């Protein structure tokens, strides 16, 4: 899918619906409002036909409206966000001033009767609404910025407060929501404790990336200075504080209490990245498994990704079908394939051999390939997209390119680290078995020139009854990209933050 086209709303009419709507012959209104959700009408197995004759209140937004019969009545395609399909609503000119209802974007609340449209008529729907009373109208000014249906994604990024009204963004939001539900479902079933790791931190997860500083000093007329430096003892927390780059280290506390745990939190990178894969604020799902080695860790990561794919196939077929029609033809097949096929597993050393073989056969990479390099994105994508054409787990990386907390393997050269690479996205998950041996981790920190003082608490977890454990982190927005087939990470989170932009 290119970056330009937002598909027209009427491509949606035939999209099927996933819904738990009952098949009873009475409508069910929302519990905390007087309206009935369109999903609970059109999502029924009978397409709503069995509700003919029922009186309902509908609230929604006019996607398209047109006056007909020389202005004696109007048809409105009304969307209420509960599903991607619109309800066809018929209003007679005797009921309301039609010119106020038809503009795209108008918000309406209407009471009326459901009825089966006359045979052979212009709708594919089994039921439409004949309006008895217009309860409320929220008009749109003429400058409504999203009145057209062929707006580019780039254009819509300037309207983050309105773009969720489009079908594409509504579909992506639903899929994101279901992926989050699947995450809680998976870790709940496996009995992991959900832990609230901190957002403001005074620990640095080993330079995982540039950090944002959190301060109240800049609101003072003059920054406090001591010995020629900013005096952080006067800052809110009495010392320098940052936005977290990872909840891993704190999550290990739980794993070391023998309770496997996960966290689903915002994480931050103050990096000047302008790519379609990076955000300054994003979401990570991080898990730490007690009494688990690297293989257990890989098994868990793979099972989690498969679980999410299965979940979407089961719960999200209308939104996924929409994405297949409008964004990425192969996205449903990809879900099925990921859910059913075992991931490939290769050591880093094997991966390098595969890349070197490709180079010897004429493949050109921008970055040189040899044992010891950190795999570049082009290498990762070549492995998953060209060599294996499915998700690949690469494990046992050279010690020199990995973090101090990863467990040193018996060969002394590699660490028990793993990355899950997937087509379209590259690295989706990174993880490792954690070094649980106090002497080994201390020596490694010294080797790497890391100060031990800020990590005393972390070392305590090894010194005071250490526990074997492993963990991983999944970039949640990358998972949304992977399943939806969207191209730009700025379009799969409602309020993207990147250099120069933090709208709203």
- Rounded to 10 deg, the angle between the 331-340 and 317-326 helix axes is 130
Is 58 in contact with 87 (CB distance < 8 Å)?
yes
Q: Does 365 bind its own copies (CB under 8 A)?
A: no
Stretch binding its own copies (CB under 8 A), from 54-62, 84-92, 119-127, 371-379: 54-62
- Rounded to 10 deg, the angle between the 167-189 and 294-315 helix axes is 130
Least distance CB 223 / its own copies (angstroms): 7
Q: Does 245 bind its own copies (CB under 8 A)?
A: no
Is 316 in contact with 178 (CB distance < 8 Å)?
yes
Q: Which is nearer to its own copies, 369 or 418 (CB)?
A: 418
What is the distance between the alpha carbons of residues 92 and 98, in angstroms, rounded to a whole number? Answer: 8
Query: Which of 115, 157, 259, 390 touches its own copies by CB under 8 A?
Result: 259
Stretch binding its own copies (CB under 8 A), from 266-274, 346-354, 381-389, 405-413: 266-274
Q: Which is nearer to its own copies, 424 or 462 (CB)?
A: 462
Q: Strand, coil or helix: what is 263?
A: strand
* Binding to its own copies, residues 131-190 (CB under 8 A): 136, 138-141, 144-145, 160-162, 164-165, 170, 173-174, 176-177, 180-181, 184, 188, 190
Least distance CB 215 / its own copies (angstroms): 6
User: Binding mask 198-227 vs its own copies (x if CB under 8 A, - otherwise)?
Assistant: xxxxxx------x-xxxxxxxx---x----
Q: Which residue has the tokens 């990590």?
A: 455
* Binding to its own copies, residues 11-50 (CB under 8 A): 30-35, 37, 39
Q: How many residues touch its own copies (CB under 8 A)? A: 116
229-230 vs 107-115, strand pairing mode: unpaired
Q: Does 249 bind its own copies (CB under 8 A)?
A: yes
Backbone angles phi, psi at 64, to 5 degrees: -140, 145
Query: Which of 268, 311, 322, 404 touches its own copies by CB under 8 A?
Result: 268
392-398 vs 344-347, strand pairing mode: parallel
CB burial readout 159-168, b (16+ within 10 A) else e: ebeebebbbb
Q: Sheet containing 261-268: which strands, arranged edge to edge?
A: 193-194, 261-268, 281-290, 469-475, 426-433, 414-422, 392-398, 344-347
Helix (H) or strand (E) holding 430: strand 426-433
Least distance CB 443 / its own copies (angstroms): 18
Query: Which of 182, 461, 474, 486 touches its own copies by CB under 8 A?
Result: 461
What is the distance between the alpha carbons of residues 201 and 214, in angstroms, rounded to a whole number? Answer: 9
Cβ atoms within 10 Å, residue 362 = 6
Q: Quick one: DSSP state of residue 383?
A: I
* Binding to its own copies, residues 286-305 (CB under 8 A): 289-292, 296-297, 299-300, 303
User: Binding mask 369-398 vs its own copies (x if CB under 8 A, - otherwise)?
Assistant: ------------------------------
Query: Which of 111, 359, 460, 488 touches its own copies by CB under 8 A?
Result: 460
Least distance CB 29 / its own copies (angstroms): 10
Q: Does 468 bind its own copies (CB under 8 A)?
A: yes
Q: Does 436 bind its own copies (CB under 8 A)?
A: yes
Q: Does 253 bind its own copies (CB under 8 A)?
A: yes
Stretch binding its own copies (CB under 8 A), from 255-263, 326-334, 336-344, 443-451: 255-263
Query: Which of 154, 258, 336, 357 touches its own copies by CB under 8 A?
Result: 258
Least distance CB 219 / its own copies (angstroms): 7
* Binding to its own copies, residues 94-123 (CB under 8 A): 105-107, 109
Q: Which is nearer to its own copies, 176 or 402 (CB)?
A: 176
Q: Which is nearer to its own copies, 231 or 333 (CB)?
A: 231
The full 3-state SS of 26-94, as one line of letters, equals: CCCECCCCCCECHHHHHCCCCCCHHHCCCEEEEEEEEEEEEEECCCCEEEEEEECCCCCCCEEEEEECC
Q: Does 283 bind its own copies (CB under 8 A)?
A: yes
Residues forming a β-bridge with 475: 284
Q: Which is nearer to its own copies, 303 or 386 (CB)?
A: 303
Q: Does 311 bind its own copies (CB under 8 A)?
A: no
What is the distance between the alpha carbons of residues 466 and 458, in angstroms, rounded to a whole number? Answer: 11
User: How long a stretch of residues is the chain?
Assistant: 504
């Amino acid at each position: 899918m290119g970056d330009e086209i937002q598909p027209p709303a009427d491509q949606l009419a035939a999209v099927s619906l996933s819904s738990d709507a009952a098949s009873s012959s009475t409508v069910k209104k929302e519990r905390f409002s007087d309206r009935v959700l369109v999903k609970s009408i059109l999502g029924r197995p009978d397409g709503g036909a069995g509700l003919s004759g029922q009186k309902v209140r509908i609230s929604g937004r006019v996607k398209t409206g047109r006056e007909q019969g020389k202005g004696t009545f109007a048809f409105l395609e009304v969307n209420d966000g509960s599903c991607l399909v619109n309800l066809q609503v018929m209003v007679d000119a005797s009921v309301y001033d039609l010119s106020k209802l038809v503009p795209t974007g108008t918000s309406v609340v209407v009471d009326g009767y459901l009825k089966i449209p006359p045979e052979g008529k212009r709708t594919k729907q089994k039921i439409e609404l004949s309006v008895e009373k217009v309860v409320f109208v929220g008009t749109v000014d003429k400058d409504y910025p999203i009145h057209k249906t062929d707006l580019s994604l780039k254009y819509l990024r300037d309207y983050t407060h309105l773009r969720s009204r489009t079908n594409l963004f509504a579909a992506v939001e639903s899929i994101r929501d279901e992926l989050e539900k699947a995450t809680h479902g998976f870790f709940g079933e496996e009995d992991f404790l959900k832990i609230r790791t901190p957002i403001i931190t005074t620990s640095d997860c080993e330079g995982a990336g540039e950090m944002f500083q959190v301060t109240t000093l800049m609101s003072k007329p003059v920054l406090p200075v001591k010995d020629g430096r900013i005096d952080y003892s006067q800052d809110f927390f009495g010392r320098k504080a940052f936005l977290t780059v990872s909840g891993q280290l704190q999550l290990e506390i739980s794993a070391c209490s023998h309770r496997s745990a996960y966290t689903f939190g915002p994480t931050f990178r103050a990096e000047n990245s302008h790519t379609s894969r990076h955000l300054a604020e994003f979401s990570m799902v991080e898990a730490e498994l007690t009494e688990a080695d690297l293989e257990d860790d890989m098994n868990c990561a793979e099972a989690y990704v498969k679980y999410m794919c299965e979940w979407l196939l089961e719960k999200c077929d209308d939104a996924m079908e929409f994405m297949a029609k409008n964004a990425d033809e192969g996205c449903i097949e990809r879900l099925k394939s990921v859910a059913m096929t075992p991931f490939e597993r290769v050591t880093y050393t094997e991966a390098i051999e595969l890349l070197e073989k490709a180079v010897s056969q004429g493949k050109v990479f921008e970055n040189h390939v040899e044992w010891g390099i950190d795999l570049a994105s082009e290498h990762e994508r070549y492995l998953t997209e060209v060599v294996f054409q499915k998700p690949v787990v690469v494990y046992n990386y050279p010690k020199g390119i990995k973090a101090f907390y990863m467990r040193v393997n018996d060969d002394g050269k590699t660490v028990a680290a793993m990355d899950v690479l997937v087509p379209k996205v590259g690295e989706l998950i990174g993880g490792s078995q954690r070094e649980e041996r106090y002497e080994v981790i201390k020596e490694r920190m010294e080797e790497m020139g890391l100060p031990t003082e800020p990590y005393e608490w972390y070392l305590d977890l090894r010194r005071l009854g250490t526990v074997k454990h492993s963990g991983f982190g999944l970039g949640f927005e990358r998972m949304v990209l992977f399943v939806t087939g969207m191209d730009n990470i700025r379009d799969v989170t409602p309020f993207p933050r990147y250099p120069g932009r933090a709208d709203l």
